[in-house]
Amino acid sequence: MTIFSRFKQYLVQFRLAFVLAIVGMIGYSLIDVMVLGQLKPLIDDSLNKADYEYLRIAAYCIVPIFILRGVFNFIGSYTVSWIGSSIVMQMRQSLFSQYIHLPVEFHDKNSTGSLISKVIYDTEQVSSAAGKALLTLVQEGALVVGLLVVMFYYSWQLSLIFLLIGPVVAVIVSVVSKRFRLVSKRIQQTMGSLTSSVEQVLKGHKVVLMFGGQAIEAEQFAQRNNHNRQQNMKLIVARILSVSSIQVIASVALAVVLYVASVPGLLDSLTPGVFVSVVVNMTMLLKPLKQLTTVNSEFQRGMAACASIFEVMDELKEADNGTQTLQRVQGKIEFKHVTFSYANKQNPALKNVSFTVQPGQTCALVGRSGSGKSTIASLLTRFYNYQQGEVRLDDILLPDIKLTDLRQQFALVSQHVVLFNDTIANNIAYGAVGPVDRAKIMAAAKTAHVEEFLSQLPKGIDTVVGENGFMLSGGQRQRLAIARALFADAPVLILDEATSALDTESERLIQDALEKLQQNRTSIVVAHRLSTIENADIILVIEAGQIIEQGNHQSLLKQNGVYAQLHKMQFGENITSSNQSAQIEKVAVDIVADELVTKNANKGESEGA
């Protein structure tokens, strides 16, 4: 199916509005043709013969005619604009709905700025194709047809000369259309790049200021901005050249008409009225021809934008082939020989991983960044699908469970807290279906120690936190995320560095909240601080996607392996040598370094807030 064929599917539902718009646009153009068609009788019958009755009738009719012309113009223009804005609204809604249903891999591969540009910029180009282009095409097209009819009616011999330029104009339009489509696609790509640049700098504003990156960012943006300008100028040059070429060709036809009319005896039936009428109509044809050529660029930009949008719409949504429904699971988790690789990565993120967590147990994952800890959590929630092995929840294979039911079994508290530009209450109750119990929100806030800083906010729990919670400190955002998990009351809890953004006091306050949160729940805890996982039922030490040690705190200390040495490093004990010293040193240094970087970054973020 062609791009235009798919675009027409959006137009079909507005067929009645299109009929009304076409009536208005054609009516507007026919009135212009009718007025121009009166030149011959005005000159030959009225002025030459001194019959002034025709002029008197014209004086009475001209005002009502132009009032009717204005009514037709309003009907056509308003209806087309309404159709265009409605199509843009639908496309934006469809695109947004597609975004939120696409798999995580898609968002990993595409920049946020580029995706935003498609919703904001590309859809506006579609509006031009559906609105301005259609208005010009029908209205000016009707005017061209009407003028040609009048010309042929009065002198088909002179008018025939004008038709000789038709094939030449068609060739020019065909060649220029391809150029318009190509350049328009490049413009959309540069707009996505510009949007990404702005988004990146605004999100990393503190880093830019801290490291003096203003000049670098300004220079990079200037290059991309200039590239966007160059592409727009290429489109304008193509448009100007095409319009000028067609008008020059039309002027040649007009010159031939004037020459033919100047030859005595060549056209014996040529009266002053006929001559003036044909010449004026030919001259009037230049403007609609220019408009029709210009609208071609608008239409091609719209089609290029449609191609960009349809490319996203054709992406496969997150696969959900599960048929089994779940209410509330017990919480047994089982990995059997699981291997998983990210797209475009050669080395597997997980290799032959096997472990079992019984209902109500806490399983802690320890290892340096990139070892595969967070990948395990992502596989559980099916943000990614493993390639080999089996993952079961309550002895049910994850792919057999409906995605909505599966994810309702999990509550996630991550070190990267995501908050919405909404009230604290709505952030805590995010995703809740149906009426929300206010008392339940307040209970979650109290348990997570959110209540302690509500008094400092202007509207308490109804305070809007701003984009991603910029009004709150890192520790406050983390407590809000824990309150959200408490409110969700899911049977399985995933804590991904849940206390990394907390200072000592906040960590102490929050630790008991986490303990309450973990009661009667299966918990998967990703941690760098070993002090937070000493009571875990199972501790897995992961390196390069493999489990190199597992057991509880005491049994791992007795093994005197990697975990034991990590524990001694973090608690300042003397490290005894072992055969694993090289591996221990490598893993330990990375983990401690990761912890220090995270702690310092979050400390600065909290102080800044």
The one-character DSSP state at 393 is: E
As separate numbers, helices (DSSP H) first and strands (DSSP E) second, the chain gives 23, 10
- What average pLDDT does range 519-527 have in this prediction? 85
**Confidence class of residue 110 from pLDDT cuts 50, 70 and 90?**
confident
Are 105 and 235 contained in the same domain?
yes
Q: How confident is the model at residue 343 (pLDDT cuts 50, 70, 90)?
A: confident
Q: What is the secondary structure of 64-82 as a DSSP string? A: HHHHHHHHHHHHHHHHHHH
Q: How far apart are CA 365 and CA 351, in angstroms?
A: 15
Q: Looking at the structure, do residues 343 and 421 belong to the same domain, yes or no?
A: no
Express as a percent the part of the chain with pLDDT over 70. 85
Question: Residue 55 falls within a domain, yes or no?
Answer: yes
| HEC sequence for 145-207 | HHHHHHHHHHCHHHHHHHHCCHHHHHHHHHHHHHHHHHHHHHHHHHHHHHHHHHHHHHHCHHH
Looking at the fold, whether 228 and 84 belong to one and the same domain comes out as yes
What does the block give as tokens for 133?
Answer: 């282009």
Same structural domain, 228 and 93: yes
Is pLDDT above 50 for 118? Answer: yes
User: CA triplet 453, 454, 460: central angle to 5 degrees?
Assistant: 160
Residue 472: inside a domain, yes or no? yes
Tokens of 265: 């005896």
φ, ψ of residue 495 in degrees (nearest 5): -110, 105
The confidence band for 396, taking pLDDT boundaries of 50, 70 and 90, is: very high
The answer on pLDDT for 577 being more than 50 is: no
Q: Which residues pair with 543 in a beta bridge?
A: 546
Instruction: Tell me the pairing of strands 350-357 and 522-526.
Output: unpaired
pLDDT score recorded for residue 352: 92
**Mean local confidence (pLDDT), 13-23:** 87
**CA separation for the pair 260, 252 (Å, rounded):** 12
Q: What is the pLDDT of residue 166?
A: 65
We report the CATH number of the domain holding residue 288 as 1.20.1560.10
Residue 127's pLDDT is what?
77
Measured CA to CA, the distance from residue 425 to residue 444 in angstroms comes to 10
pLDDT computed for residue 603 by the predictor: 43
pLDDT at 500: 58
Question: Is 363 part of a structural domain of the chain?
Answer: no
Q: Is the pLDDT of residue 356 over 50?
A: yes
Structurally, the chain folds into a number of domains equal to 4
What pLDDT digit, counting tens, does each position of 455-472 carry?
A: 888 888 898 888 777 788
In contact, 365 and 548? CB cutoff 8 Å: no
Among 482-491, 546-555, 590-599, name the one with the lowest average pLDDT. 590-599
* Pick from 124-133, 328-337, 364-373, 452-461: least confident: 124-133
154, 148 Cβ separation under 8 angstroms: no
Q: Among the listed ranges 47-56, 521-530, 565-574, 578-587, which one has the minimum average pLDDT value?
A: 578-587
The answer to whether residues 404 and 272 belong to one domain is no
- The confidence score (pLDDT) of residue 388 equals 92
Residue 607: what pLDDT? Answer: 40
- Per-residue burial over 402-422, b if 16 or more Cβ lie within 10 Å, else e, is ebeebbbbbbbbbbebebeee
> Is residue 477 domain-shared with residue 342, that is, in the same domain?
no
517 lies in the same domain as 587: no
Please indicate, yes or no, whether residues 285 and 153 belong to a single structural domain of this protein: yes
Q: Is the pLDDT of residue 596 over 70?
A: no
- 15-29, 192-206, 403-417, 469-483: the lowest-pLDDT one: 192-206
Task: Give, in order, the Cα–Cα distances in Å from 397 to each of 276, 406, 492, 505.
Answer: 84, 11, 16, 42
284 inside domain: yes
Whether the pLDDT of residue 351 is over 90: the answer is: yes
Residue that finishes a domain, picked among 526, 550, 576 = 526
User: In residues, how long is the chain?
Assistant: 609
Strands 362-366 and 522-526, by their bridges, are parallel
List all residues 6 or more positions away from 145 whose beta carbon is below 8 Å from its beta carbon.
Answer: none
Residues 478-516 pLDDT 10s: 888 888 888 888 899 998 876 655 555 666 666 766 777
Domain-located, residue 531: no
Give the pLDDT of residue 394: 92
Does 434 score more than 90 pLDDT?
no
For the chain, helix, strand, coil in percent to 5 are 65, 10, 25
* pTM exceeding 0.75: no
User: What pLDDT is attached to residue 604?
Assistant: 44
Domain shared by 146 and 223, yes or no? yes
pLDDT at 589 over 50: no
pLDDT tier at 601 (50, 70, 90 boundaries)? very low
Structure-model confidence comparison of residues 254 and 267, the more confident one: 254
173 within some domain? yes
pLDDT of 492? 92
3-state secondary structure 322-381: CCECCCCCCCCEEEEEEEECCCCCCCCCEEEEEEEECCCCEEEEECCCCCCHHHHHHHHC
| Per-residue confidence (pLDDT) for residue 353, from 0 to 100 | 92
Task: Give the whole-angstrom CA distance, residue 196 versus residue 225.
Answer: 12
Residue 201 and residue 125 share a domain: yes
* Beta carbons of 516 and 530 less than 8 angstroms apart: no
Mean pLDDT rounded to a whole number for the chain = 80
Let me know if residue 64 belongs to a domain: yes
Same domain, 304 and 172: yes
Give the CATH number for residue 497: 3.40.50.300
pLDDT band at 379 (very low <50, low <70, confident <90, very high): very high
Here the tokens at position 167 are 């094939």
Looking at residue 210, its pLDDT comes to 66
- Same domain as 139, residue 21: yes
User: How many C-alpha atoms does 211 have within 13 Å on its Cβ side?
Assistant: 8
pLDDT number for residue 572: 65
Going by pLDDT thresholds of 50, 70 and 90, the confidence category of residue 224 is confident
Q: Each residue of 243-253: pLDDT tens digit?
A: 777 777 777 77
* Six-digit token string for 377: 């959590």
Q: How far apart are CA 73 and CA 139, in angstroms?
A: 9
How does residue 133 score in pLDDT terms, banded at 50, 70 and 90?
Answer: confident
For residue 602, what pLDDT is reported? 45
The mean pLDDT of 70-76, rounded to a whole number, is 90
The pLDDT of residue 266 is 56
Which candidate, 96, 587, 568, places its Cα nearest to that of 368? 587
Distance CA 95, CA 115 (A): 9
The amino acid present at 278, given as its one-letter code, is V
Q: 336 has which bridge partners? A: 390
The answer to whether residue 45 sits within a structural domain is: yes
Tell me what the mean pLDDT of segment 389-405 comes to: 92
pLDDT at 600: 46
Q: What's the order of all strands across the beta sheet hosting 350-357?
A: 350-357, 333-340, 388-393, 396-397
Average pLDDT over residues 556-561: 88
Q: Which of 480, 500, 526 is the last residue of a domain?
A: 526
Cβ-proximal residues to 108 (8 Å cutoff; 6+ apart), any chain: 342, 343
Higher pLDDT, 439 or 236: 439
Smallest CA-to-CA distance from 562 within 596, 340, 551 is with 551
> Could you list the residue range(s) of the whole structural domain that residue 604 is in?
539-609
- Give the residue from 145, 138, 161 showing the smallest Cα distance to 33: 145
